[in-house]
Amino acid sequence: MGRKLLLEHDNKPGIQGLEGYRANGGYRSVEKALKTMSPDALVEEVKKSGLRGRGGAGFPTGLKWSFMAKPPGVPRYLVVNADESEPGTFKDRYLMERIPHILIEGMITSSFALGANTSYIYIRGEYFYVSRILERAIEEARAAGWLGKKTGRGFYVYDAMGTKTGRAF
């Protein structure tokens, strides 16, 4: 079932760009969360959904989110590990190449639930070309008001390859 949800629209024309992604339902779930839910309500909704992580353990996402301490005034960060160091795994690369906005939407949703205002994507050096795809998608999301100062959420995304930090959006 997870494959169907993640790759449901991967063959749609223009899905790599914001317009194509939006035309196929992209950013609707985060829009709903931001407009109608509190972070705690979102965590409970994700718990009820049964969503699990894509790593080897398949840990329940909502449960993991509920473990995060949220003391006031303490900065929180979200880090997406797109290294794919496990042999034979290419799910992250495929999603970033084909549907980069699905990653960005997931990061905005996660950041809202966790109270994070800075996010990082770690990309291994061999995926340098993927960072360019992500940068275009991140810029589209920023221009559309999903990221950056004009969101009022102070949400920023950086990309990273190895130890080199990318630009802020």
CATH code for the domain in which residue 114 is found: 3.40.50.11540
pLDDT digits (tens, 9 = 90+) for 24-60: 999 999 999 999 999 999 999 999 999 888 776 788 9
Give the total number of structural domains in the chain: 1
Which residue range forms the structural domain that includes residue 19? 2-165
How far from each other are the two terminal CA atoms of the chain, in whole angstroms? 33
pLDDT digits (tens, 9 = 90+) for 122-167: 887 777 788 889 888 988 998 898 887 766 555 555 555 443 334 4
Residue-by-residue DSSP string for 45-103? HHHHHT-B-SSTT--BHHHHHHT----TT---EEEEEE---STT--HHHHHHHH-HHHH
pTM of the model: 0.85
